[in-house]
Amino acid sequence: MRFEVVFGAAAFAVALPLCGAASAADQMRPSLAVESENPLALTAGEASEILYSAVSRSGQAAPKTLLAAGTYVAPQPGAAYQDATPGQPGEQPAAQPAAAGTPDLSDPATRMLAGLPDEVEPYFDLYLYVSKAEAGPIAQHMFVYTRAADGTMSLIHDWPVSTGREKKEKTPSGRKTFTHTPEGSFKLDPKRFHQLWKSRAWNADMPWTMFFDLVENGGMSGLAIHAAGKGKISQLGRRASGGCIRLAPENAQYLFKLIQKDHAGLVPVFAMDGNSTNVVGEPARNADGSLQLVYGYKVLLHIEDYAGEHVPTLSVAAAAPVAVPANYSTR
């Protein structure tokens, strides 16, 4: 892990508290509009649900202007996380930046880097943190960070997701399974990026699929990041998948193309732990002790069952993802 992680941030205005819900609705992603010819478009009910969720979250967690948060230092190796004492039921913890030189143990990026080996971190320049918690300030969200050459981490996107339902179920074919999203650090498989994939287990379309680079019990994992299909978009923000990480279609498409365009390069091979890939980022080594490297995507996904204490502040007002074309079809 790296001891000092600097989070640079620029102040930006939040439209919702200043303009109200009606104006905020105009600023929502284009895909919130009902498009009868687009199979991935939201219904009026789905759009209303997501807008209501955004209004509620903004009212709880965002001041009128989100200011840059200070400087944070990652914890020493092996340091245990000490969560703040919980408040009364229903009480929302206030977002308090850590003092300079003090680890902000509630910050997703700090937590993500804390367990990662020092020598592995610089090989990745796009970091994806996913909270699989059922409820909490950051639950069921993906936070997208860029890492600069000097180690500066900048939060550029905050997207709702759906992770696994975390219960025993049966697939449409009758096979018993556990709809679980594992915790840990994962790479993405550059050979298994598909604009459209069909899940045989669930007989469901998976648009903009990005499979994990993960071996489980001797076989390639079927876990992936992908777009939520029609009828599933309104479930974003809560546990609803068979184990994969679902994103809104425009966010999945944007991330898919961003990774392929800007984040290819040499990355470490993750060592095997028995007949499965280790999930703590431990690298495989050559006979001389050097890291085994392979051409892939310089993207690290970290999943954790952590509810958070407050919503982290965006570092920049990032450009909105491009909307899914009206003629895009999952079939």
Dump pLDDT digits (tens) for 257-297: 999 999 999 999 999 999 999 999 999 999 999 999 999 99
- Joined together, the tokens standing for residue 301 give 């996904």
- Which pTM was predicted? 0.69
Dump pLDDT digits (tens) for 132-187: 999 999 999 999 999 999 999 999 999 999 999 999 999 988 899 999 999 999 99
Distance CA 136, CA 57 (A): 11
Radius of gyration, CA atoms only, the chain = 20
Distance CA 207, CA 194 (A): 7
CA 288 to chain centre: 35
Q: 10 Å Cβ neighbour count for 71?
A: 17
- Joined together, the tokens standing for residue 289 give 């002790």
Asked if 153 and 6 count as a contact pair (C-beta separation under 8 A), the reply is: yes
Angle at 66 between CA 64 and CA 68, to 5 degrees: 155
Who has greater pLDDT, 102 or 98?
102
pLDDT at 324: 53
Distance CA 247, CA 141 (A): 9
Task: Please state, in angstroms and as integers, the Cα–Cα distance from residue 45 to each residue in 38, 51, 129, following that order.
Answer: 16, 10, 29
Q: What are phi and psi of 188, to 5 degrees?
A: -105, 145
With respect to CATH, is domain 105-304 assigned 3.30.565.10? no
Nearest to 140 by CA among 311, 19, 262: 311
Distance CA 71, CA 5 (A): 8
User: Which residues contact residue 89 at a Cβ distance below 8 angstroms, ignoring those fewer than 6 apart?
Assistant: none
Label residue 90 by pLDDT band (50, 70, 90): very low
111-130 mean pLDDT:
96
Distance CA 274, CA 204 (A): 31
Who has greater pLDDT, 123 or 93?
123
Mean pLDDT score of the chain: 76
